[in-house]
Amino acid sequence: MLLPPLIRKARPSDRNCARPNEEGNEAGFTLVELLVVLAIIGLTTAFVAPRVLNYLGTAKADSAKIQIRNLESSLELYFLDLGQYPTTEEGLAALSSAPQNAKSWNGPYLKNAADLKDPWGNVYRYQAPEGDQSFVVSSFGRDGKPGGEGEDRDLP
């Protein structure tokens, strides 16, 4: 059994806006052929789009982790200059502008105040060290709320 070709020349009886080709015959795509192509494009998009969106979410989480490491490095530089970490009240803002009683402050320790926000636009959380514990810099993820899964999970 022979299969019909996917693209064929239009018959002379077809008068659906076809243009004449070099031989004088009218050539073009039928409505069914166009619908098949659109269906293929739609199915391809349906399979590819969720993966692309997932990669974008993963990229934002990876970017937040890198920014947290940079903030931690900036806090260590702050500590070297002042001998203490910023208080929880001073927060990460102490890295970009000098606190009131910081005589040996050699900042700013951040190039950009926008570095204080995670990729989702939420402010990074900072908890000053208490006792034997170290400071904590974290992000609540996409939703800006504690807990969650996927993009909404908390990042240390």
Look at residue 36 in the predicted model and tell me its pLDDT: 95
Look at residue 68 in the predicted model and tell me its pLDDT: 92
Look at residue 57 in the predicted model and tell me its pLDDT: 78
Look at residue 97 in the predicted model and tell me its pLDDT: 85
Q: Give the residue, 108 or 3, on which the prediction is more confident.
A: 108
**Considering the entire predicted model, what is its pTM?**
0.66
CATH homologous superfamily, domain 30-147 = Glycoprotein, Type 4 Pilin (3.30.700.10)
Q: What are 50-87's pLDDT values in tens digits?
A: 888 878 878 888 999 999 999 999 999 999 998 889 98
d(CA 38, CA 13): 26
Look at residue 4 in the predicted model and tell me its pLDDT: 57
Q: What are 83-140's pLDDT values in tens digits?
A: 889 989 988 988 988 888 778 888 788 887 777 899 999 999 999 988 878 899 999 8
Cα–Cα nearest to 92, from 116, 66, 63, 65: 116
Cα–Cα nearest to 126, from 77, 97, 99, 86: 86
Map tokens 């982790």 to a residue.
65
Q: Give the residue, 117 or 27, on which the prediction is more confident.
A: 117
